[in-house]
């Protein structure tokens, strides 16, 4: 998360992680200050790549792309070329949002993850290439640079290529991620040969060199996304996918297209804000919640009293019940405009009792809970001119589906699990999904990623986002409120405990 206040850039080099269901955890992140721009990412080497590009004369878009590509090297549990994401950018008075979310392969069907009784088989949408959507990151990062970048493309790719070629040391975070994911990674010889040498997790301090990824990045620098969505890399993806029962093809990769979306624009507490629209639900949840909380007098309530916790819970309960209606923007059962309409939010206000909790069953007809993968990563960049990019990218689960593409050097995602395999029934991760998010070829799956930029007339700019699956919007909103309403510095805002409610399960 980064904040620029009238020329002073403050950097918080931390993206929040998911909270345990029964425990609120907080840690005080490090802060950095500067006047030439700021980069925040989850891994220091990736942050350094973005800073290198700013120092070379690049703008926020250049640095964001460089940081994202470096994350694909040194933070492979979530950083990626085989996944997708969203970006929100503000350059001057222009605000744009880029959708590079994965799509369902052409051979996908709405029964592919069901057993003979029509019940979901969780492993099929989580493990192995059948769980993989068509990656959007190669086209998305290139599109962001093509539209807004200033430096030559090859210059922006170079820090990541260099990291992959020269290698980097395994840190404690990567060691823990590999340890946690070992049962998944050892299923695939292609993965284990690189990430579990000798069958073991590399020790902290071990130097990893990724020549296949370095070569892919070299081709990417020379040819753009076609280097990955076509030619030998695309063939390698199709081959390894088929070997392990997947349906992802080179034609799927070649046919992928990014989409520039209208941002979700909203105001609150003296700030203007922009976030991501469908197929992300995050921007809508932030807009609805901000508008309703301001009308409920949030700023005047005691900061640490029960009143604020109660209102947050009631607002989140209703926002996530609305989320049930959402999906790919081409097929969604309700539009963000309808769900932000004055009469709709008035019904929210009318239904909120200041003294009693609303049973979730009274908000919308219940369905079993569904959760979303937590292993996402976010980066924020603000340059010296105040241009800002907030970018969230993911493989969905830790190391995606677990399959590493030999010869190409990247993991494939398991984003197909974000579809409703059986609408009204749960996937592994607890969020409700409706018919609008059912599996269809070419459809984008619903997401909670919430890259967000906020600004004021005096030149203050805040870029933020995070990881945490279904908790991303609720985390993002609470950090936003801590800063823009209560005046917290960024380190304090990130370190505060937060609460979460997502309609169902009806649990705080």
DSSP at 280? B
- For residues 350 and 369, the answer to whether their CB atoms sit within 8 Å is no
Contact status, residue 227 vs residue 203, Cβ threshold 8 Å? no
Q: 355: how many CB neighbours lie within 10 A of its CB? A: 6
**At a CB cut-off of 8 Å and minimum separation 6, what does 40 contact?**
1, 2, 11, 12, 13, 14, 15, 47, 379, 380, 381, 463
DSSP letter, residue 365: -
Residue 84, SS3? Answer: strand
CA-CA distance, 57 to 227, in Å (whole number)? 26
- Alpha-carbon 396 to chain mean position: 8
Whether 480 and 274 have beta carbons less than 8 Å apart is answered as no
Q: Measured in whole angstroms, how far is the alpha carbon of residue 222 from the centre of its chain?
A: 27
Whether residue 67 lies in the annotated active site: no
Q: Is residue 428 within 8 Å of 122, Cβ to Cβ? A: yes
With residues binned 3-state (H G I as helix, E B as strand, rest as coil), the percentages for the chain, rounded to 5, are 40, 15, 45
DSSP assignment of 284-337: HHHHHHHHHHHHTTGGGS-TTSHHHHHHHHHHHHHHHHHHTT---TTT-SS-HH
Positions of E strands within 92-177 = 94-100, 168-169
Which pair of structure tokens corresponds to residue 30? Answer: 């490090």
- Output phi, psi for 87, to 5 deg: -135, 140
The catalytic position among 290, 376, 377, 394 is 376
Closest C-alpha to 433, from 279, 250, 224: 279
* Element (DSSP H or E) covering residue 273: strand 271-275
In Å, how far are 125, 179, 256 from 139, measured between CA atoms?
A: 24, 31, 8
Distance CA 81, CA 14 (A): 22
119: left (phi over 0), alpha (psi -120 to 50) or beta: beta
Which residues, listed in sequence order, are joined to residue 10 by a DSSP beta bridge? Answer: 3, 33
The radius of gyration computed from the CA coordinates of the chain, to the nearest angstrom, equals 21
Catalytically active residues, by annotation: 376
């Amino acid at each position: 998360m980064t904040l620029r206040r009238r020329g002073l850039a403050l950097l918080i080099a931390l993206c929040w992680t998911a909270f345990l269901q029964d425990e609120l955890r907080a840690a005080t992140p490090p802060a950095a200050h500067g006047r030439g721009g700021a980069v925040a990412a989850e891994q220091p080497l990736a942050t350094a790549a973005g800073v290198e590009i700013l120092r070379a004369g690049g703008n926020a878009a250049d640095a964001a792309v460089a940081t994202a590509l470096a994350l694909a090297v040194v933070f492979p549990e979530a950083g990626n070329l085989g996944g997708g994401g969203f970006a929100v950018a503000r350059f001057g008075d222009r605000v744009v949002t880029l959708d590079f979310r994965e799509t369902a392969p052409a051979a996908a069907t709405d029964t592919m993850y069901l057993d003979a009784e029509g019940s979901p088989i969780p492993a099929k949408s989580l493990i192995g290439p059948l769980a993989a959507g068509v990656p959007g990151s190669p086209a998305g990062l290139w599109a962001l640079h093509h539209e807004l970048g200033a430096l030559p493309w090859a210059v922006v790719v170079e820090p990541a290529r260099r990291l992959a070629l020269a290698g980097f040391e395994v840190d404690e975070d990567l060691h823990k991620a590999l340890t946690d994911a070992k049962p998944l990674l050892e299923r695939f010889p292609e993965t284990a040969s690189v990430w579990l040498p000798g069958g073991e997790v590399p020790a902290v301090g071990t130097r990893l060199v990724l020549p296949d990824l370095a070569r892919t990045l070299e081709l990417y620098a020379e040819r753009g996304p076609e280097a990955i969505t076509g030619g030998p890399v695309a063939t390698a993806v199709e081959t390894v996918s088929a070997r392990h029962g997947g349906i992802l093809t080179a034609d799927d990769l070649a046919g992928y297209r990014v989409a520039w979306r209208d941002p979700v624009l909203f105001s609150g507490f003296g700030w203007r804000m922009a976030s991501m629209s469908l197929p992300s639900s995050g921007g809508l949840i932030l807009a609805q919640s901000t508008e309703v909380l301001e009308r409920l007098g949030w700023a005047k309530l005691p900061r640490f009293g029960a009143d604020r916790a109660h209102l947050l819970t009631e607002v989140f309960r209703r926002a996530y019940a609305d989320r049930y209606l959402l999906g790919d923007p081409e097929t969604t059962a309700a539009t963000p405009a309808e769900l932000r309409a004055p009469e709709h939010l008035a019904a929210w206000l009318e239904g909120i009792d200041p003294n009693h909790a609303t049973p979730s069953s009274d908000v919308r007809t219940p369905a079993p809970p569904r959760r979303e993968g937590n292993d996402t990563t976010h980066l924020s960049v603000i340059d010296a001119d105040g241009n800002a990019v907030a970018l969230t990218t993911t493989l969905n689960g830790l190391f995606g589906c677990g399959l590493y593409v030999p010869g190409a050097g990247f993991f494939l995602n398991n984003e197909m699990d974000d579809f409703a395999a059986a609408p009204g029934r749960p996937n592994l991760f607890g969020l409700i999904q409706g018919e609008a998010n059912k599996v269809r070829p070419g459809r984008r799956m619903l997401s909670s990623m919430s890259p967000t930029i906020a600004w004021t007339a005096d030149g203050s700019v805040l870029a933020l986002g995070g990881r945490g699956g279904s908790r991303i919007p609720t985390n993002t909103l609470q950090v936003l409120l801590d800063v823009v309403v209560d005046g917290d510095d960024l380190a304090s805002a990130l370190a505060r405990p937060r609460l979460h409610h997502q309609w169902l399960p009806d649990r705080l």
